């Protein structure tokens, strides 16, 4: 089979229709160029150029082959460029897992930043609970997890990307909505909408500890896993709830969010997690983007901080 260097020789001769000038262009002398063309013709078993001692011209097969040769050279070049881009993490594809709640704050910001800074990167997003993400990280089905603690020891690299305070969600016409700030004790007296202990284990355990440390026993009206379901219940007057601040992005009409005073506080944390031995060259680049984004909290935790 022929080689790409021979194609370059052929294209030069076909364009110059003159071996001497083509050789000049290729930074070589005429005899080896003649030989390369001969080898190419012998390998193909096709006469590509008609050399009539006074003029060089393309045969019909040569004309056709010239098109293909140019095409091949162009493809080879772009394959090299693409490989370099992928190796440097400027292109490629990556699978990201995220929790349902992170979709209200961090995930859109991360995706937007990646689209802006890495336009040729294909990001595929999959919503799944934290434990599922850990499993899929291990199996390699996702490259990045955006998940809640706890993060098990092992070959996982992780860093925190958001830490949001919890705020109270209550119906707009609720008496407590008039206050600018609530205390945890106020909530314990109201019917309280709680997180599911399994599907929303992180928030469930967080609130359990919160109330337990404050010595309060809330009045659970309902258990739900999804924040939007919880806000819908609040809206219907079923009770009040504690939700991460980014829930403001849902703009649930008729529901107001109020800061809540607590003795013992712990923010809702989201971690960027990846396997230490994942060699996808995009990973360090996207991790950098994710870290930069986490460093400027204003733009992340809540895309619109006005709490109505």
Owner of token pair 């007296």? 189
- Nearest distance from C-beta of residue 276 to a copy of itself, angstroms: 15
Contacted entry of a copy of itself, DNA, none for residue 276, CB cut-off 5 to 8 Å set by kind: none
Q: Closer CB to a copy of itself, residue 8 or residue 204?
A: 8
Cα 204 to Cα 155, 196, 223, 272, distances in angstroms: 27, 6, 9, 21
Separation CA 275–CA 242 (nearest Å): 32
- Measured CA to CA, the distance from residue 210 to residue 214 in angstroms comes to 6
Which 53-72 residues touch a copy of itself, going by CB under 8 A? 59-62, 64-65, 68-69, 71-72
Instruction: Write out the binding residues for DNA, residues 32-71 only, by CB under 7 A.
Output: 32, 34-39, 51, 53-54, 56
**CB of 55 within 8 A of CB of 17?**
yes
Nearer to DNA, 21 or 70 (CB): 21
| Range 71-130, binding a copy of itself (CB under 8 A) | 71-72, 75-77, 79-80, 82-84, 86-87, 92
Question: Is residue 18 at the binding interface for DNA, with CB under 7 A as the rule?
Answer: yes
Nearer to a copy of itself, 50 or 209 (CB): 50
* Residues of this chain, 164-203, that bind DNA according to CB under 7 A: none
Helix, strand, or coil here: 303? coil
* d(C-alpha 280, C-alpha 80), whole Å: 18
CA dihedral 308, 101, 277, 79 (to 10 degrees): -80
Cβ(207)–Cβ(242) below 8 Å: yes
By C-beta, is 83 or 261 nearer to a copy of itself? 83
Q: Which of 11, 22, 48, 285 binds a copy of itself (CB under 8 A)?
A: 48
Which positions ≥6 away from 224 have C-beta within 8 Å?
193, 194, 195, 196, 200, 230, 233
Contacts with a copy of itself by CB under 8 A lie at 1-5, 8, 43-48, 50, 59-62, 64-65, 68-69, 71-72, 75-77, 79-80, 82-84, 86-87, 92, 279-282
Contacts with DNA by CB under 7 A lie at 3, 5, 17-20, 27-32, 34-39, 51, 53-54, 56
């Amino acid at each position: 089979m022929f080689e790409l260097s021979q194609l370059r020789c052929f294209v030069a001769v076909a364009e110059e229709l003159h071996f001497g000038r083509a050789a000049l262009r290729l930074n070589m002398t005429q005899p080896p160029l003649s030989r390369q063309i001969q080898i190419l013709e012998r390998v193909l078993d096709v006469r590509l150029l008609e050399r009539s001692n006074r003029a060089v011209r393309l045969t019909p097969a040569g004309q056709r082959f010239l098109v293909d040769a140019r095409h091949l050279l162009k493809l080879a070049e772009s394959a090299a460029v693409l490989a370099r881009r992928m190796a440097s993490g400027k292109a490629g594809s990556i699978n990201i897992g995220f929790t349902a709640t992170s979709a209200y704050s961090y995930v859109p910001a991360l995706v937007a930043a990646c689209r802006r800074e890495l336009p040729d990167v294909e990001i595929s997003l999959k919503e799944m609970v934290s434990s599922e993400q850990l499993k899929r990280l291990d199996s390699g089905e996702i490259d990045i997890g955006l998940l809640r603690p706890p993060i098990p020891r092992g070959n996982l690299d992780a860093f925190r990307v958001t830490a949001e305070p919890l705020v109270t969600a209550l119906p707009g016409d609720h008496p407590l909505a008039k206050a600018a700030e609530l205390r945890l004790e106020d909530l314990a007296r109201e019917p309280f909408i709680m997180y599911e202990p399994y599907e929303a284990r992180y928030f469930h355990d967080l609130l359990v500890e919160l109330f337990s440390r404050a010595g309060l026993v809330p009045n659970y009206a309902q258990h739900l896993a999804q924040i939007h379901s919880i806000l819908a219940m609040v809206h219907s007057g079923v009770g009040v709830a504690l939700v991460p601040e980014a829930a403001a992005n849902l703009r649930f009409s008729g529901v107001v969010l109020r800061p809540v005073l607590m003795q013992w506080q712990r923010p809702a944390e989201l971690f960027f997690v990846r396997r230490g031995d994942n060699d996808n060259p995009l990973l360090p680049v996207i991790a950098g983007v994710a870290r930069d984004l986490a460093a400027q909290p204003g733009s992340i935790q809540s895309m619109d901080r006005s709490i109505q």
